[in-house]
A = this chain, B = another copy of it.
Amino acid sequence: MKELVEAIRREGVGIGTDVVKVDSFLNHRIDVALSTSMGQEIHRYFQNKTVDVILTVEASGIAVALTTAQAFGNIPVVFAKKGDHINVGHDVYTADVYSFTHQKMNTIRVSRKYLPEKSRILIVDDFLANGEAIEGLLSIARQARCEVVGAAVCVEKGFQDGGKRLRAEGLDVLSLSTVQAIEDGKIILSE
């Protein structure tokens, strides 16, 4: 997606060989026009699928999940919560997700009542690297006996294996941008 690729070229910062910092427009400060366009782009790609609910993980996935849901005509968003939430209750689906960013295991939780059986789910998230978060959401969808129609992410790290593995499993994965490598602080993007 052109606007996003341009934003990454203009503002993204590569650190080491695997950190892509895009917090000026994606996951700390949010470029709201870009976020809205990304939601519309995700809708364009999946518009022939019936989607009942957008599923994401707090916190950075929420903005683009919301704009995607708007583009689908205001379908609901459900965001999985991380850690122990006294407000979530016990009637939940859970999955363990390792966060490379925070270098720790998180348990993500979704209340059972917000994923009725047979719901058609579109997973949306900001990043796809090793695929841990999306695997966790897929696990929750399986537990809920829901159908996952696909997954959409803003930035795929093409040099990590999550995208490859998920596609090999048959998941329809849309990446709005793909980082091929980080070299000397420069982010190399696929065309």
Question: Which of the four size classes fits the interface of chain A?
Answer: 35 or more
Q: Which of B30, B84, B114 contacts A77 (CB 8 A)?
A: B30
Q: Which of B21, B27, B63, B114 contacts A28 (CB 8 A)?
A: B114
The proximity string for A residues 51-82 relative to B, scoring 1 for CB distances below 8 Å and 0 otherwise, is 00000001100110011011000111111010
Are A79 and B114 in contact (CB-based, < 8 A)? no
- Across the interface, which residues of B come within 8 angstroms of A66, CB to CB? 30, 32, 35, 62-63, 66-67
Q: Which of B59, B87, B101, B110 contacts A79 (CB 8 A)?
A: B59
Q: Does A161 contact B (CB under 8 A)?
A: no
- Across the interface, which residues of B come within 8 angstroms of A36, CB to CB? 70, 74
Q: Does A29 contact B (CB under 8 A)?
A: yes
Near B by CB (< 8 A), chain A positions 92-128 give 101-103, 110-111, 113-114
The majority secondary structure among interface residues of chain A is mixed
- Across the interface, which residues of B come within 8 angstroms of A59, CB to CB? 58-59, 62, 79, 81
Are A24 and B114 in contact (CB-based, < 8 A)? yes
Q: Which of B28, B63, B114 contacts A29 (CB 8 A)?
A: B114
Q: Does A168 contact B (CB under 8 A)?
A: no
- Across the interface, which residues of B come within 8 angstroms of A85, CB to CB? 101-102
Q: Does A23 contact B (CB under 8 A)?
A: yes
Q: Does A19 contact B (CB under 8 A)?
A: yes
Which of A31, A33, A75, A87 has the most C-beta atoms of chain B within 10 angstroms of its own C-beta? Answer: A87
Are B114 and A76 in contact (CB-based, < 8 A)? no
Please give me the 8 A-B residue pairs with the lowest Cβ-Cβ distance, nearest first.
Answer: A58-B59, A59-B59, A33-B74, A30-B77, A32-B69, A29-B114, A32-B74, A62-B62
Question: A residues touching B (Cβ–Cβ < 8 Å)?
Answer: 19, 21, 23-24, 27-33, 35-36, 58-59, 62-63, 66-67, 69-70, 74-79, 81, 84-88, 101-103, 110-111, 113-114
